[in-house]
């Protein structure tokens, strides 16, 4: 996972609340076998509307999503985060997030910045007035800056630290690589191994 | 190597510990502090086509290898057809998942047993039959019925796709310890009553959420008397009580099952292993967080009437009346279930006619299950109009059954004898119920639509499945005896 300290880019205002993970990515896309290539699936139903915010020319190449309260509720599907990442989002701003979604975001390097609802409204206004304006999300200071507006955001210390260090769960565990190797060095010879394949004495055929 | 090496130092003088605690402690790579999880080493990682593709994709994106291909094994089971297995898989999604697994296994150096291979089969049947599932180890798989492997005294539990990737990359998992629950089953089962009836009774007693957060340890004389196949049936369904895992302490039955299997220890290793396994049983006086008791003497063949595995009663009873259920949520659930199942309260369960009988799934598709089924149907004809499918859990089970002539017993009876896989346990491959069809199934889940859209499932033991296939209505071997005696 790449380290995140500040993200600077344009933003899309999503004036909706209770955006559940079924809206973020419908279940039909869960049949896929990759972790990437979900950008077309993001907000699939809404994107059928040419006027949907992400379809508008002024919001192409956005990195920051500014959404209403209770973003990412519902089904635990990790695909919701994959789809947002694939589309190009580095940050989602909301006044409240679904718990599992927030957890999944941290694992995939998506910054879920919790901003007071009044501030979300102010951010919406600024971005709507000037869609091309750059938004800067500073993880070190925990602030969102756009033009002359600067608002604070909340993120738990542990997730923040992991994002700053660029550590996903696996990266974090691999910091204990020495302990894992040490554990393995004591592993008894009789513990099961799948390789090399041992053949039974006699074998039949189907 | 010494019988009690560093990782498994048996604490002497410490407080008495449960089997689950011993296995957990022997796998601590790092103890968690201040609320952070422990880091637990994983001895065996089982992989199948449905929950692994994104995990491999994640490794690829991060440029990470599989840390221990030699502790990892893959098989194809959920999507695979059970007929015409030499032809390309017709369903495109299924075929893509299978082909993706094959590519990933080749790229990451993982042992894979593909359709047509004699070790292919349901992932939870393959591990034990190869001797890979052993006492005192940790086993994970991206599948909730991983609890099956706990029958050997292993700590075995299902994980999600992110965790699959985590284990592939690190061979560990960050986890908080589970709570422990003793399930004491004392007494002697009557003939015709089996492991499946025990676990259905346990789930009916504690409920589908009763085991949440717990590892269940099945104990008592009735459990000790069970074969490994029976113990696997019980541990398999621990998840249906909401538990993280189920375990049975290893004993002579366990060792006898393992000895001589392909990947079981041999020679001096065997002696060291057994010496260690002997230390695993729960210590006298160890405290469980909860305890439940079941009387084996009075158990009868059990059957579910509803749409979750906790909605079950003895086969001699009637469909319950929701009005008699006090808890309003359970009452509402029962009403919904009876509507879906198209059943009237008060109907004797034995009068319920079925359209299909499914003998298979990771709960009941091992050789003993097939033998039990065959013992009842031998020389008889299936009830007219009932479709009977017998699906072995693995290609090896299929070979074994054929070597014993069981296939002939099945086909003479009028049953379909198929190739190994999950089959009609879940509607992910071509074996499915049609809407409205009713099935007596030896599988583990009777959820709405699980065996096919609109399908109605009654969970039963292999013996009940066999008797039902003969009579066409839900029946146990007891009903056949009565007929034989001229009643
Ligand atoms: S047989 Fe059924 S429960 Fe078992 S692994 Fe296959 S689908 Fe899951």
The C-alpha atoms of residue B105 and residue B115 are separated, in whole angstroms, by: 14
CB contact (8 A) between residue A35 and residue B137: no
Q: What is the pLDDT of residue B387?
A: 98
Q: Which atom of ligand 1 is nearest to the CA of B393?
A: 1
Q: What is the pLDDT of residue A204?
A: 45
**What sign does the CA torsion over B436, B440, B444, B446 have?**
positive
Residues B320 and B279 in one domain: no
Q: What is the pLDDT of residue B4?
A: 35
Mean pLDDT for B222-237 is 98
Q: Does B481 fall in a domain? A: no
Do residues A78 and B55 touch, judged by C-beta distance below 8 A?
Answer: no
CA B161 to chain centre: 20
B422 assigned to a ligand binding site? yes
Pick the CATH number of A6-165 from 3.40.50.11890, 3.40.50.720, 3.20.19.10, 3.40.50.300: 3.20.19.10
The C-alpha atoms of residue A29 and residue A75 are separated, in whole angstroms, by: 14
The number of helix segments (H) and strand segments (E) in chain B equals 16, 19
The C-alpha atoms of residue B394 and residue B97 are separated, in whole angstroms, by: 19
Q: SS3 for A150-204, per residue?
A: EEECECCHHHHHHHHHCCCHHHHHHCCHHHHHHHHHCCCCCCCCCCCCCCCCCCC
pLDDT band at B224 (very low <50, low <70, confident <90, very high): very high
Do residues B418 and B83 touch, judged by C-beta distance below 8 A?
Answer: yes
What is the best residue among B51, B239, B393, B425 to mutate for testing ligand 1's pocket, by most ligand atoms within 8 Å of CB? B425
The C-alpha atoms of residue B377 and residue B410 are separated, in whole angstroms, by: 8
Q: Which atom of ligand 1 is nearest to the CA of B144?
A: 8
CB contact (8 A) between residue B270 and residue A190: yes
Mean pLDDT for B213-228 is 97
Do residues B255 and B274 touch, judged by C-beta distance below 8 A?
Answer: yes
Pick from A180, A187, A190: CB nearest B273: A190
Which of A78, A105, A166, A192 best tests the B interface by mutation, with the highest count of B CBs <10 A? Answer: A192
Distance between A83 CA and the closest CA of chain B, angstroms: 13
The C-alpha atoms of residue B338 and residue B322 are separated, in whole angstroms, by: 9
Residues B252 and B354 in one domain: no
Does B13 have pLDDT greater than 80?
Answer: no
The C-alpha atoms of residue A87 and residue B341 are separated, in whole angstroms, by: 44
Q: Does B1 fall in a domain? A: no
pLDDT digits (tens, 9 = 90+) for B305-318: 999 999 999 999 99
Q: What is the pLDDT of residue B395?
A: 97
Q: What is the pLDDT of residue B3?
A: 37
Q: Show which of B251, B268, B294 is a domain's final residue.
A: B294
pLDDT band at B290 (very low <50, low <70, confident <90, very high): very high
Q: Which residue, by CA, sits nearest to atom 6 of ligand 1?
A: B422
Residues B218 and B166 in one domain: yes
Q: Residues near B442 by Cβ (< 8 Å), separated by ≥ 6?
A: B196, B358, B359, B360, B361, B363, B364, B365, B369, B459, B460, B461, B462, B465
Query: Can you give the residue range of the structural domain that contains B183?
Result: 19-294
Q: What is the pLDDT of residue A36?
A: 87
Mean pLDDT for B137-156 is 97
Residues 322-351 of B with CB under 8 A from A: none
Residues 51-90 of A with CB under 8 A from B: 78, 82
Residues B76 and B108 in one domain: yes
Residues B116 and B241 in one domain: yes
| C-alpha triplet A117, A121, A127: angle, nearest 5° | 140
Which of A104, A180, A194, A204 best tests the B interface by mutation, with the highest count of B CBs <10 A? Answer: A194
Instruction: Decide the pairing of beta strands B438-441 and A135-138.
Output: unpaired
The C-alpha atoms of residue B23 and residue B18 are separated, in whole angstroms, by: 9
Q: Does A176 touch chain B (CB under 8 A)?
A: yes
pLDDT digits (tens, 9 = 90+) for B438-470: 999 999 999 999 999 899 999 999 999 999 999
Comparing alpha-carbon positions, the chain A residue that sits nearest to B45 is A194
Q: What is the pLDDT of residue B93?
A: 86
Q: What is the pLDDT of residue B12?
A: 47
Q: What Å distances lie between residue A101 and A12, A98, B252, B303, CA to CA?
A: 19, 5, 47, 39
Does B74 have pLDDT greater than 50?
Answer: yes
How many residues comprise chain A? 206
| Nearest alpha-carbon partner for A184 in B211, B5, B388 | B5
- Percent over 70 (pLDDT), chain B: 96
| Å from CA of B365 to ligand 1 middle | 11
Residues B251 and B345 in one domain: no
Q: Does A31 touch chain B (CB under 8 A)?
A: yes
Residues B218 and B361 in one domain: no
The C-alpha atoms of residue B355 and residue B433 are separated, in whole angstroms, by: 9
pLDDT digits (tens, 9 = 90+) for B472-482: 999 999 999 76
pLDDT digits (tens, 9 = 90+) for B29-71: 999 988 788 999 999 999 999 999 999 999 999 999 999 999 9
Buried/exposed code over B11-30 (b: 16+ C-beta within 10 A; e: otherwise): eeeeeebbbbbbbbbbbbbb
Residue B134 is given by DSSP the state: -
Residues B264 and B313 in one domain: no
Q: Show which of B240, B275, B294 is a domain's final residue.
A: B294
CB contact (8 A) between residue B6 and residue A186: yes
| Å from CA of B305 to ligand 1 middle | 21
Q: Does B454 touch chain A (CB under 8 A)?
A: no
Q: What is the pLDDT of residue B55?
A: 96
Q: Which atom of ligand 1 is nearest to the CA of B445?
A: 3
User: Phi/psi class of residue B131: alpha, beta or left (left: φ > 0; alpha: ψ in -120 to 50)?
Assistant: left
pLDDT digits (tens, 9 = 90+) for B341-361: 999 999 999 999 999 999 999
B235 assigned to a ligand binding site? no
Q: Does B403 fall in a domain? A: yes
Q: Which SS3 state, helix, strand or coil, does residue A105 take?
A: helix
Does B227 have pLDDT greater than 90?
Answer: yes
Q: Show which of B243, B276, B294 is a domain's final residue.
A: B294
Q: Does B11 fall in a domain? A: no
Residues of A in contact with B149 (CB under 8 A): none
Q: Which SS3 state, helix, strand or coil, does residue A114 take?
A: strand
Q: Which residues are B359's β-sheet partners?
A: B390
Residues of B in contact with A180 (CB under 8 A): 29, 39, 41, 67, 170-172
Q: Residues near A139 by Cβ (< 8 Å), separated by ≥ 6?
A: A4, A5, A6, A7, A111, A155, A160, A163, A164
pLDDT band at B123 (very low <50, low <70, confident <90, very high): very high
CB contact (8 A) between residue B43 and residue A192: yes
Q: What is the pLDDT of residue B483?
A: 58
Residues B115 and B232 in one domain: yes
Q: Does B70 touch chain A (CB under 8 A)?
A: yes
Residues B84 and B225 in one domain: yes
The C-alpha atoms of residue B236 and residue B86 are separated, in whole angstroms, by: 30
Domains of chain A: which residue ranges?
Answer: 6-165
Q: How many independent structural domains does chain B possess?
A: 2
ipTM for the complex shown:
0.91
Mean pLDDT for B136-160 is 96
Q: What is the mean pLDDT of chain B?
A: 94
Q: What is the pLDDT of residue B72?
A: 98
Q: What is the pLDDT of residue A200?
A: 62
Do residues A151 and A113 touch, judged by C-beta distance below 8 A?
Answer: no
Torsion of CA A156, A162, A166, A171, to 10 degrees: -150
The C-alpha atoms of residue B119 and residue B136 are separated, in whole angstroms, by: 24
The C-alpha atoms of residue A66 and residue A83 are separated, in whole angstroms, by: 16
Low-confidence ranges of chain A (pLDDT < 70): 200-206
Query: Strand order in B416-417's β-sheet?
Result: B416-417, B387-390, B356-359, B438-441, B456-459
Residues B339 and B443 in one domain: yes
Tokens in use for B255? 């060792």
Continuous segment of H or E residues that includes residue B157: strand B155-158
DSSP E strand boundaries for A45-165: 64-67, 91-94, 111-114, 135-138, 143-146, 149-152
pLDDT digits (tens, 9 = 90+) for B91-113: 888 899 999 999 999 999 999 99
Q: Does B482 fall in a domain? A: no
Q: What Å distances lie between residue B372 and A151, B192, B305, CA to CA?
A: 70, 10, 23
Tokens in use for A149? 């507006």
| C-alpha triplet B85, B372, B484: angle, nearest 5° | 125
| Å from CA of B11 to ligand 1 middle | 38
The C-alpha atoms of residue B429 and residue B452 are separated, in whole angstroms, by: 10
Pick from A1, A180, A192: CB nearest B170: A180
Residues B276 and B233 in one domain: yes
What is the best residue among B120, B143, B236, B429 to mutate for testing ligand 1's pocket, by most ligand atoms within 8 Å of CB? B143
The C-alpha atoms of residue B403 and residue B397 are separated, in whole angstroms, by: 10
pLDDT digits (tens, 9 = 90+) for B394-426: 999 999 999 999 999 999 999 999 999 999 998
Does B2 have pLDDT greater than 50?
Answer: no
CATH number reported for the structural domain that contains residue B238 in this entry: 3.30.499.10
pLDDT digits (tens, 9 = 90+) for A12-62: 999 999 999 989 998 888 878 888 889 999 999 999 999 999 999 999 999
Q: Does B453 fall in a domain? A: yes
Distance between B399 CA and the closest CA of chain A, angstroms: 7
Q: Does B12 fall in a domain? A: no
CB contact (8 A) between residue A190 and residue B70: no
Residue B392 is given by DSSP the state: -
């Amino acid at each position: 996972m790449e380290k995140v300290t500040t993200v600077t880019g344009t933003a899309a205002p999503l004036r909706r609340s209770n955006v559940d993970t079924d809206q973020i990515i419908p279940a039909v896309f869960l049949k896929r076998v990759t972790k990437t290539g979900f950008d077309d699936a993001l907000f699939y139903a809404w994107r059928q509307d040419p006027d949907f915010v992400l379809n508008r020319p002024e919001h192409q190449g956005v990195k920051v999503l500014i959404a209403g309260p209770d973003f990412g509720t519902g089904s635990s599907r990790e695909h919701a985060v994959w789809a947002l990442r694939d589309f190009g989002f580095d940050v989602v701003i909301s006044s409240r997030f679904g718990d599992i979604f927030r957890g999944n975001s941290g694992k995939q390097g998506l910054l879920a910045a919790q901003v007071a609802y009044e501030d979300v409204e102010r951010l919406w206004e600024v971005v709507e007035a000037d869609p091309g304006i750059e938004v800067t999300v500073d993880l070190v200071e925990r602030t969102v800056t756009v033009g002359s507006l600067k608002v604070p955001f909340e993120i738990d210390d542990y997730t923040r630290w992991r994002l700053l260090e660029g550590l996903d769960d696996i990266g974090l565990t691999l910091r204990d690589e020495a302990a894992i190797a040490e554990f393995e060095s004591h592993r008894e010879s009789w513990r099961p191994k799948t390789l090399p394949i041992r053949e039974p004495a006699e074998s039949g055929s189907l | 190597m010494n019988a009690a090496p560093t990782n498994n130092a048996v604490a002497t003088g410490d407080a008495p510990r449960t089997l689950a605690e011993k296995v957990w402690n022997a796998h601590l790579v790092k103890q968690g502090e201040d609320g952070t999880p422990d880091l637990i080493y994983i001895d065996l990682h089982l992989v199948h086509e449905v929950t692994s593709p994104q995990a491999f994709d994640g490794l690829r994106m991060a440029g990470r290898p599989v840390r221990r291909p030699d502790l990892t094994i893959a098989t194809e089971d959920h999507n695979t057809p059970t007929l015409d297995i030499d032809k390309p898989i017709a369903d495109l999604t299924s075929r893509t998942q299978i082909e993706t697994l094959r590519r990933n296994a080749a790229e990451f150096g993982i042992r894979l047993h593909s359709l047509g291979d004699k070790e292919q089969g349901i992932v939870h049947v393959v591990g034990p039959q190869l001797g890979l599932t052993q006492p005192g180890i940790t086993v994970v798989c991206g599948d909730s019925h991983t609890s099956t492997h706990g029958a050997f005294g292993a700590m075995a539990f299902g994980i999600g796709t992110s965790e699959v990737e985590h284990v592939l990359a690190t061979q560990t998992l960050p986890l908080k310890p589970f709570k422990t629950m003793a399930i004491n089953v004392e007494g002697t089962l009557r003939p015709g009553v089996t492991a499946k009836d025990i676990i259905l009774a346990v789930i009916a007693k504690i409920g589908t959420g009763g085991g949440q957060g717990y590892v269940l340890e099945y104990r008592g004389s009735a459990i000790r008397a069970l074969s490994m196949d029976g113990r696997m049936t019980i541990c398999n369904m621990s998840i249906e009580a909401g538990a993280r895992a189920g375990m049975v302490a290893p004993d002579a039955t366990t060792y006898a099952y393992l000895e001589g299997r392909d990947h079981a220890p041999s020679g001096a290793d065997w002696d060291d292993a057994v010496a260690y396994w002997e230390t695993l049983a729960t210590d006298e006086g160890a405290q469980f967080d909860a305890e439940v008791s079941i009387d084996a003497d009075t158990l009868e063949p059990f059957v579910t009437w509803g749409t979750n595995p906790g909605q079950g009663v003895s086969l001699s009873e009637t469909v319950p009346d929701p009005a008699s259920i006090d808890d309003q949520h359970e009452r509402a659930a029962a009403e919904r279930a009876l509507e879906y199942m198209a059943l009237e309260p008060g109907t004797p369960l034995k009068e319920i006619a079925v359209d299909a009988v499914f003998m298979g799934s990771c709960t009941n598709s091992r050789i003993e299950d097939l033998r039990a089924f065959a013992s009842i149907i031998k020389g008889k004809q299936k009830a007219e109009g009932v479709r009977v499918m017998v699906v072995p859990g693995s290609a090896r089970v299929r070979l074994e059954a054929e070597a014993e002539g069981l296939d002939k017993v099945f086909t003479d009876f009028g049953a379909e004898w198929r190739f190994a896989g999950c089959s009609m346990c879940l509607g992910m491959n071509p074996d499915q119920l049609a809407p409205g069809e009713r099935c007596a199934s030896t599988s583990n889940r009777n959820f709405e639509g699980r065996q096919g859209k609109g399908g109605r499932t009654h969970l039963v033991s292999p013996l009940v499945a066999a008797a039902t296939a003969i009579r066409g209505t839900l029946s146990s071997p007891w009903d056949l005896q009565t007929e034989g005696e001229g009643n």
